[in-house]
Amino acid sequence: MPSWQCCRAAGLTAKLMEYVAQAAGERPSIDFALALLADTYNLPQEAPFILFAVSRCSGWLAHALEQVAASRLIRPRARYVGIPPQAL
């Protein structure tokens, strides 16, 4: 893609993000960025989902390696305070 097209696309993207933020009351999510990436590089339609899944898996693997290196499980500090599960 020529540099002038990249600049134009970046400007349009910024305007679209601004519009979405005003209309929805929140900034666009990672889904927006992944769809934009897939469109920019003419990736297959399922590419955003695959990219998201691969990045999530790499994060999980990083946490697993961190736990192995520390020789202990990483436990969240939050506690469930909802309705207790029913016995089966």
Q: What is the pLDDT of residue 2?
A: 58
Domain residue ranges of the chain, discontinuous segments joined by +: 3-70
pLDDT in tens, 34-77: 998 898 889 999 999 999 999 999 999 999 999 999 888 877 78
Is residue 5's pLDDT more than 70? Answer: no
Asked if 47 and 38 touch (Cβ cutoff 8 Å), the reply is: yes
Q: Choose among 25, 26, 45, 27: nearest CA to 35.
A: 45
Integer Cα distance of 80 and 68 in angstroms: 26
pLDDT over threshold 60, residue 23 = yes
- Give the CA-trace dihedral at 53, 58, 36, 48, to 10 degrees: -20
* Per-residue model confidence (pLDDT) at position 68: 92
Contact criterion met (CB below 8 Å) for 38 and 48: yes
Q: What's the pTM? A: 0.61
